Structure 1
Amino acid sequence: MRFFHLKKINRFYFMAIMCIACLLTDQVTAQVVAPAKQTATDPYYTAYDNSTLTRSELPVLMPHNRIIRPAGTVLRYGDLNLENHSLDLKRIPGTTLLAVEDRYGIAVVDYQQRKITASWSFTGSAYKGFMSTYSGIEVLRSGNNTRIFWSAAQSGGERQSVVFEAAWNGNDLKITDTIRFTAVAPAPLALPNEVAVHNEGGTPYLYVVLNGNNTLEKINLNTKQRVWSASTGVAPYGITVVNSRIYVSNWGGTLPNAGATAETAGVPYGKMFIDPVTGAASGGSVSVFDTKGALIKEVPAGLHPNDLVASPDGQFVYVANGNSDDITVINTNTLSVAATILVKIDGHTSGFIGDSPNALDVSPDGKTLYVANGMDNALAVINLGKGSGHVKGYIPTESYPGGVRIIDSQLVVTNLEGEGSRISSKEITKQDKETGAYPGAAYNSHYEKATLSFIPVPDDQKLQQYTADVKKLMLLFRTELSRLNPRKGQPARPMPERIGEPSVFKHVLYVIKENRTYDQVLGDLSKGNGAKALCLYGDSVTPNQHKLAADYVLLDNYHASGKCSAEGHQWTDAAMVTDYIEKNVRAWFRSYPHVQTDAMVYNQKGFIWNNAADHGKKVRIYGETAMPDMDKKLTWTDIYAKYKKGEPLQFKNVTTISRVRPWLSPNYPASDELKITDQYRADAFIRELKEYEAMPGDSLPELMVMALSTDHTVGTRPGMPTPRAMVADNDLALGRIIEALSKSRFWKNTVVFVTEDDSQAGWDHVSAYRTTGFVVSPYTHTGKTISVNYNQTSMVRSIEQILGIPPMNLLDATARPMFECFTSTPNPALFVARTNRVPLDEMNKPLAALKGNALNFAIQSMRKEYDHVDGGNDDILNRILWFASKGNQRYPAHLAGKQVKDDDD
């Protein structure tokens, strides 16, 4: 299929596009993929479209249109049984060593030999359950004594907040002291983050921001006593000391006072000012204090100001604004904003957002600023002038650079996402110890290595080459395709060739389910690339999803873009995640935002519903971004009995986003309450559908976003249905919804996209990110298997392309629309839902009837955190689901590592 009338495209433009595509194919992805199955006549095409994510050798592909081929040398490290993330780093003065902070502890790295010299981990110590916070590590060297300070916290359990002090003696790391902080309401966690050591009159003082308490603390390091505490803005993040003034970046901006009239929203730890259109933070700030704790001034900054660094001469402080893709330059003499430097790689005046600057360092001569652009997988190189600057070029890193230091003409970078979750089961444990039920390699999203990049500072010629590489690795050429003007006289197509050209579809239903891998559900489907041994919920449990895959299109190379629901619902709804999400990954200190009740989660452009409404489309939201307020005493059995009797369920959906409230269906229970059968949700949608049918004309909303979540399950908790019954409940609801649509008068111009929010709840033999996805319409009723490499950003981009609305950011702008799923000839045959083969009220057994593993897993399933989607430890839940499905068949521990005690996720 040709998606563009190429002869109508400007010849020069087309040649430029094809040149970029060919270079990308030949130089970057040739090692990543199998031979291409089609020629590059489609302007969107790259060879990676035919690849999987299985590859573990560089270059590798991430599940959001990014190829990783970093400059320099990469060091990989970490316990293979964990999801490792490197966070920040600091040089140990007078040595060739670096202190590196990672999620599970610290390491000492020789930056000349590029190897780990020593490491210390929370997991093997008395501090198990702690994780390092977002960033910030400090080194104090006096004579032969080296002291290392960094912040950590427990997001579960006792919820402690600690600055750790470690001693480095040249051979070993040892914890010598801890400084503890108490939460101040409404914060449940004091949450220390960046730290700075400052010598004042011969006495060393430690300054630390408490991200939860909204304070700056001063600690005397000789006595370990607090000197003072001062109020900051919302969620203080970074800190630097310049000319005896302390600069603190406020991630959430100015703290609202009691008389504030501008709109505010919750950030689980209080309130912050928001943009009422998107719900995102409306501003950021930097608080400036003197050494006595007095606030001198609060300086405005961009959105989500995080890391900051001073110029060598102390005249300027540079602030990275993670949600506005720029750098605020503060003049330290006047405490005013001297300039704002854009770091956007998409250089248009209306360039797409999504670069996410989140870490900084300045060259010793003060002429160059290095900025870690997280979502670009690159360092932006800024040529500094007097109080201003401009981007000189970009340097490719691994995924999501989160810390950077320039040392001896070498850049050292901590890569928060590294190479992603691609540790195979064969790496986790030795096969001769525990082979498990599946002999091949398999993948789970919570196992990855931490990485560091060592990059020689490039000259101008090398930087020019690197810049071209970064743009190729980002597939940046696709942003130009998204800007092409629609052509007149084009016929309506299922997937328009250009945004703004007509589609046969007027309505999109976008369904978001919970936490399954492809192999867990469709691994038993012979026509797809499945592993039957890893299938827990095959045709006998999910007959409707199997029918959709058989009758419409089977997507066996479709991927979630994140690793868990807190990331997943941002990828599904916004096609990107903010710096706030990335900095919280795996730890989730402030919130677990699978339901978007934390305003710090939102990017400055908002979500797909904002995008649709802003372009004149009618929006309806079914259960997404909301929580149901209902009688908590009701049990699953009570609610199901009401459903069987035809009685209504009393509830009220609650959301923190004011603009969403009028769009939110009051009849459809929000998805976070797993005690509610999905049949109530299906009924609510079908009733509304019939109401729209009864209206004159076509009043059905153009965009409908639906959360359908009981396939998450609550394990083997007594009083709740079995895992397979909950998955079957979800499957039946989906089947009924699609049947109702197919029988409606809207079917001829409606398309349904279905995705899981993430793939964390199991194993897959192709990729940790592979999940189920469905595209259902008369124009996808082909029975074909589509093995094109698609992901959640592809699905979002496809919805935008159909509705004629532009991409929201760099991630959906570089996504490939799902052209291959559609045919030009419709098949209007109805979809008839299959009845469930597992009773929906098949209940877990009571504790008294259980023993051994069954009893243990039932007790674990009863923990309060499992009341909600992703509330508890996912490794434990995975084991519970395996046991519930496979019984005493050996759990594939080589796929998941050693069992750990449960804690809050």
Structure 2
Amino acid sequence: MNNRIFQLSIFIALALSVASCKPSGPKTDAEIAAHYAAYDDSTLNRSQLPVMMPYNRIIDPAGKVISFGDPALENHSLDLQPISGTNQYAVEDRYGIAILDADKTEIIARLAYKDAAETNGYMSTYSGIQVLKDGSTNRIFWSAAHKGSKRSKVFEASWDGKSLQITNSFDFEPEGESPLALPNELALNSENGKLYLYVVLNGNNMLKKVDVKSGKTVWSADTGVAPYGIFISNGSAYVTNWGGEMPVDTTRETAGVPYGKAYIDPKTGAIDNGNLSVFNLSDGKLVKNIGVGLHPNDITGTTDGKYIFVCNSNSDNVSVISTETMENIETIPVKIIALEHQLIGDSPNALALSPDNSRLYVANGMDNAIAVIKLNPETKSSAIEGFIPTEAYPGGLVVTDKQLVVTNLEGEGARINSLELDDPDDITEAIESGAFNSHHQKATISVIDLPDADELKDYTQKVKELMLDFRIELAKLAPRKDQPARPMPHRIGEPSVFKHVVYIIKENRTYDQVLGDMEKGDSEKSLCIFGDSVTPNQHQLARNFVLLDNYHASGKCSAEGHQWTDAAMVTDYVEKNVRAWFRSYPHVQEDALVYDQKGFIWNNAADHGKSVRIYGEASMPEVDKSLTWTDFYTMYQNGEIPKFRNTTTISRVEPMLSQNYPASDYLKIPDQFRADAFIKELKEYENLPGDQFPELSVMALSVDHTNGTRPGMPTPRAMVADNDLALGRIIEAISQSRFWENTVIFVTEDDSQAGWDHVSAYRTTGFVVSAYSQSGKVVSTNYNQTSMVRSIEQILGIPPMNLMDATALPMFECFSEKPNLEMYAALRNRIPLNEMNDDLSALNGKARLYAELSMRPEFDHIDAGNDDVLNRILWFSAKGEARYPVELVGPADDDDDD
């Protein structure tokens, strides 16, 4: 294994040699040194392949990569289909469609929604573009939806080799509980000389058959929960149901998904079944429901109609269906690591059959790879031959005799630098390295020559190296006997000096926004808007304990962020919704479709005998909505406690959830109430016999999100100051308690979307606070949110949940072997917590515009509104008329919802 690690380190060192590397010091202990790879000293601002993603994955794809899209937007390529008689492909991306010429490896035509009044504001749904040859013209069909107007369409465009233009559209109205019909995959089928369009309506839980010529619906059929994919074979339509079967059994536990209910696993809250519905084409009657794996999405079948293949993303396998028996006859694992490890997270989400039907190609999203499967359904002995590396999160693919063409949903991540853009403003011109924002990235497509057996073997080894698989072996090592207690155990199961972990999740700040004025570390003062005068406690924590100046959020927004913080991965459902968020924006865990089958850090801890308390995370408060922020603040000043009740849709969370601590998704309640509630409970634990303080406490502390310049609410800097003071008071209380010596506090932002950073779009603030962390040193090791989750697991002695935390680097360098028991004293706020935004009557010009924008209903909750608008408001609030760095965040009328 040491030789393997050495070889891997050499490989990565060559691949990721960047000018910004910073040595982090020798790793003298062999056990600790074994965890490290050369990339751990690099930043994430490299723009040339290979590049590093902020979740332990290196991107070094096979073949050629084509990048496209407006850099003012967060672009994602979704799906594609070949254009008959050419080596061209119709490509569906979030903001339109494009034509790829695979011979030229370039985009030769693009149709962007924003360029026409009738399509402006639409976004493509998850997948399902289709191409029909009609004489000299190609007819292209795909699904899109407009959240604002609640409209859903299947668009039709024509492509004659020169011009790409919309020629028709089919409207679908919401039905039942759904506010949005949400068409997704579709199929075209000629029957008795007439062309029919079959469309799955993900929002309506329906399949519709439409006469293409007349546009009239022939029939509608009820499906399971959130239908996704469709395939037509032998007179039947096969439809995958993302959320499984429609719940009818009242003895089984159900939980909310947007627009209805679904059966769930009570241990995790995740969907507990997957199924495939089969319908008769002539009348839409249900023929049969067939059980498959979890989160069934894409579907395809052999040309002879004998077999259907279904991708099960939350089970990491593919189901093989016999159309003769209508039975699930084989389950093909697509795991890159042997099944014995039981680590989920490969996330198969798209399929393609070779022209001779001998091989199935499967897009493993989280592996950044295509699995190649040699099929043998007759003997039920299909097997993986190998893996081909792609860019981040392959989500659509087509295979020919010679080539594999892949849409990469995440591409190379958010790494558009202001220096790449025209007309940089005076702010960004002054920053030598440029600056980054998380919502601006290119879409990418890979064109890969099919490998021979030897090349596939090499590719497979490369995929494993790029995912840092050697750390999985380290996570499996048995604990050694007679090891001393350490802050960070060398192996899972070895003793830690810590018995308690407090995990605090805050909202939406970049490193430079908060710590850009630090006198040490890699900081950029010109991008700092909530510096030492606003966040004195965070600055003091960075000085007293460790300053993490190379710590990253793993996602780009809160809907991704709370999955990374709570579960250390995102599912296919989250990835397919990125930037559009059609069904839900899951920053609060209220959508069972979001969760992976292993669940969250709290159930991982509880499953292994650890006591858990949840403060405000995965919950919503029921509270008197007529009360204003001033009402709540007056209560706080008078020592009164507001009436509220926290609710959760996850039954496992209910007994863990503090009903004293207001859930986080309500910005009218100051964070001082939350600090008071935690401190009161902490003192109660101190008064109990023995040590009954929970071994894991998970806390949401979110007012640093702010409400912009909304009248009736505090100014942005006052809300950030409120959050900072609450954090300082919580840490002070723990440090003054009898639990201080055996408690560690991890603090992270859920994401970095609300601002700009000169190092990386993903860089954010993170803190590690304990008696063993008071070193005052700068730690520049490349850590991310999965590192924090892995560290919590390592300390508590519980195994990783998935491939992402299993391959994360524990935060060894944040600790010393000897404690410093000096208590932390919270610094008082320098900004009045009740510094209020001006009333509209006192404002004019830009100040009034931003106040009016802040009053939009979507800004009532965390991340419900347009983040770019909020970024502009925060910049104006902090910087006044200083020019806004528009190159980093796009035009003001970008109406993408967040």
SS in 1 for 2:49: coil
In the alignment, the residues of structure 1 paired with residue 493 and residue 302 of structure 2 have an alpha-carbon distance, to the nearest angstrom, of 47
In the alignment, the residues of structure 2 paired with residue 440 and residue 61 of structure 1 have an alpha-carbon distance, to the nearest angstrom, of 18
SS in 2 for 1:458: coil
Contact 1:682–1:736, Cα closer than 8 Å, also in 2 = yes
- 2:276 aligned residue (286, 291, 294): 286
SS in 1 for 2:171: strand
SS in 1 for 2:232: strand
Superposed, which structure 2 residues align to 1:745-824 within 5 Å?
745-824=738-817
- Report how far residue 20 of structure 1 moved: 4.4
1:285-340 Cα offsets, whole Å, 9 max, x none, are 01011112011001001000000110122111110001010001000111101100
2:206 maps to 215
Pair 1:326-2:313 in alignment? no
1:360-401 Cα offsets, whole Å, 9 max, x none, are 001011111000000000000111113441111000000000
Contact 2:425–2:883, Cα closer than 8 Å, also in 1 = no
How high is the TM-score relative to the length of structure 1? Answer: 0.97
SS in 1 for 2:114: coil
Q: Name the aligned partner's letter for residue 653 of structure 2.
A: V
In the alignment, the residues of structure 2 paired with residue 432 and residue 253 of structure 1 have an alpha-carbon distance, to the nearest angstrom, of 51
Pair 1:114-2:101 in alignment? no
Superposed, which structure 2 residues align to 1:441-460 within 5 Å?
441-460=434-453
For structure 1, which segment, 361-370 or 31-40, has the greater mean C-alpha deviation from structure 2 after superposition?
31-40
Q: Name the aligned partner's letter for residue 371 of structure 2.
A: A
SS in 2 for 1:375: coil
- Report how far residue 425 of structure 1 moved: 1.3
In the alignment, the residues of structure 1 paired with residue 304 and residue 475 of structure 2 have an alpha-carbon distance, to the nearest angstrom, of 44
2:55 maps to 64
Q: Name the aligned partner's letter for residue 681 of structure 1.
A: R
2:461 maps to 468
Q: Name the aligned partner's letter for residue 323 of structure 2.
A: T
Contact 2:433–2:759, Cα closer than 8 Å, also in 1 = no
Contact 1:234–1:250, Cα closer than 8 Å, also in 2 = yes
In the alignment, the residues of structure 1 paired with residue 897 and residue 418 of structure 2 have an alpha-carbon distance, to the nearest angstrom, of 24
In the alignment, the residues of structure 2 paired with residue 542 and residue 746 of structure 1 have an alpha-carbon distance, to the nearest angstrom, of 26
Q: Name the aligned partner's letter for residue 843 of structure 1.
A: M
Contact 1:514–1:712, Cα closer than 8 Å, also in 2 = yes
Residues 376 and 176 of structure 1, relative CA distance in 2, 3 Å threshold: same
Superposed, which structure 2 residues align to 1:528-539 within 5 Å?
528-539=521-532
- Report how far residue 439 of structure 1 moved: 6.7
Q: Name the aligned partner's letter for residue 180 of structure 2.
A: L
Superposed, which structure 2 residues align to 1:351-362 within 5 Å?
351-362=342-353
In the alignment, the residues of structure 1 paired with residue 233 and residue 616 of structure 2 have an alpha-carbon distance, to the nearest angstrom, of 49
2:127 maps to 135
2:252 maps to 262
In the alignment, the residues of structure 2 paired with residue 408 and residue 393 of structure 1 have an alpha-carbon distance, to the nearest angstrom, of 18
SS in 1 for 2:730: helix
- Report how far residue 432 of structure 1 moved: 7.0
- 1:273 aligned residue (260, 263, 281): 263
Q: Name the aligned partner's letter for residue 588 of structure 2.
A: V
1:853-886 Cα offsets, whole Å, 9 max, x none, are 0000000000000000000000000000000000
Pair 1:247-2:234 in alignment? no
- Report how far residue 528 of structure 1 moved: 1.1
1:9 maps to none
SS in 2 for 1:658: coil
2:15 maps to 28
Pair 1:870-2:863 in alignment? yes
> What fraction of aligned residue pairs are identical, expressed as a percent?
63
For structure 1, which segment, 291-300 or 723-732, has the greater mean C-alpha deviation from structure 2 after superposition?
291-300
- 1:399 aligned residue (377, 392, 395): 392
- Report how far residue 755 of structure 1 moved: 0.0
SS in 2 for 1:376: coil
- Report how far residue 896 of structure 1 moved: 1.7
SS in 2 for 1:717: coil
Pair 1:76-2:63 in alignment? no
In the alignment, the residues of structure 2 paired with residue 683 and residue 22 of structure 1 have an alpha-carbon distance, to the nearest angstrom, of 47
In the alignment, the residues of structure 2 paired with residue 589 and residue 222 of structure 1 have an alpha-carbon distance, to the nearest angstrom, of 29
Give the CA RMSD over aligned residues: 1.4
SS in 2 for 1:659: coil
2:153 maps to 162
In the alignment, the residues of structure 2 paired with residue 745 and residue 138 of structure 1 have an alpha-carbon distance, to the nearest angstrom, of 64
1:832 maps to 825
Pair 1:347-2:334 in alignment? no
Contact 1:434–1:894, Cα closer than 8 Å, also in 2 = no
- Report how far residue 202 of structure 1 moved: 1.2
Residues 204 and 397 of structure 1, relative CA distance in 2, 3 Å threshold: same
In the alignment, the residues of structure 1 paired with residue 627 and residue 23 of structure 2 have an alpha-carbon distance, to the nearest angstrom, of 55
- Report how far residue 96 of structure 1 moved: 1.9
- 1:182 aligned residue (166, 169, 173): 173
For structure 1, which segment, 217-226 or 809-818, has the greater mean C-alpha deviation from structure 2 after superposition?
217-226
Contact 2:24–2:779, Cα closer than 8 Å, also in 1 = no
Contact 1:33–1:47, Cα closer than 8 Å, also in 2 = no
Contact 2:509–2:764, Cα closer than 8 Å, also in 1 = yes
In the alignment, the residues of structure 2 paired with residue 701 and residue 519 of structure 1 have an alpha-carbon distance, to the nearest angstrom, of 34
SS in 2 for 1:136: coil
In the alignment, the residues of structure 2 paired with residue 26 and residue 648 of structure 1 have an alpha-carbon distance, to the nearest angstrom, of 56
Residues 574 and 774 of structure 1, relative CA distance in 2, 3 Å threshold: same
Residues 276 and 150 of structure 1, relative CA distance in 2, 3 Å threshold: same
- Report how far residue 895 of structure 1 moved: 1.9
- Report how far residue 901 of structure 1 moved: 5.3
Superposed, which structure 2 residues align to 1:550-565 within 5 Å?
550-565=543-558
Contact 1:32–1:61, Cα closer than 8 Å, also in 2 = no
Contact 1:425–1:896, Cα closer than 8 Å, also in 2 = no
Contact 1:233–1:252, Cα closer than 8 Å, also in 2 = yes
Contact 2:181–2:202, Cα closer than 8 Å, also in 1 = yes
Q: Name the aligned partner's letter for residue 192 of structure 1.
A: P
- Report how far residue 169 of structure 1 moved: 2.1
1:489 maps to 482
- Report how far residue 536 of structure 1 moved: 0.3
Contact 2:440–2:888, Cα closer than 8 Å, also in 1 = no
SS in 2 for 1:123: helix
Residues 101 and 347 of structure 1, relative CA distance in 2, 3 Å threshold: same
- Report how far residue 33 of structure 1 moved: 6.8
In the alignment, the residues of structure 2 paired with residue 373 and residue 435 of structure 1 have an alpha-carbon distance, to the nearest angstrom, of 38
Pair 1:233-2:214 in alignment? no
2:835 maps to 842
In the alignment, the residues of structure 1 paired with residue 18 and residue 324 of structure 2 have an alpha-carbon distance, to the nearest angstrom, of 53
How high is the TM-score relative to the length of structure 2? Answer: 0.98
In the alignment, the residues of structure 2 paired with residue 104 and residue 72 of structure 1 have an alpha-carbon distance, to the nearest angstrom, of 25
In the alignment, the residues of structure 1 paired with residue 19 and residue 53 of structure 2 have an alpha-carbon distance, to the nearest angstrom, of 11
SS in 1 for 2:407: strand
- 1:377 aligned residue (348, 355, 368): 368
In the alignment, the residues of structure 1 paired with residue 20 and residue 479 of structure 2 have an alpha-carbon distance, to the nearest angstrom, of 33
In the alignment, the residues of structure 2 paired with residue 122 and residue 402 of structure 1 have an alpha-carbon distance, to the nearest angstrom, of 21
Q: Name the aligned partner's letter for residue 281 of structure 1.
A: I
1:632-654 Cα offsets, whole Å, 9 max, x none, are 10110111111111111100001
Contact 2:590–2:618, Cα closer than 8 Å, also in 1 = yes
1:446-495 Cα offsets, whole Å, 9 max, x none, are 00000000000100000000000000000011000000000000000000
How many residues end up aligned between the 2 structures?
Answer: 890
Contact 2:189–2:196, Cα closer than 8 Å, also in 1 = yes
Segments of 5+ residues of structure 2 without an aligned counterpart are none
Residues 249 and 618 of structure 1, relative CA distance in 2, 3 Å threshold: same
For structure 1, which segment, 623-632 or 160-169, has the greater mean C-alpha deviation from structure 2 after superposition?
160-169
- Report how far residue 145 of structure 1 moved: 2.3
1:176-199 Cα offsets, whole Å, 9 max, x none, are 111111111211110000011011
In the alignment, the residues of structure 1 paired with residue 532 and residue 740 of structure 2 have an alpha-carbon distance, to the nearest angstrom, of 26
Residues 33 and 487 of structure 1, relative CA distance in 2, 3 Å threshold: farther
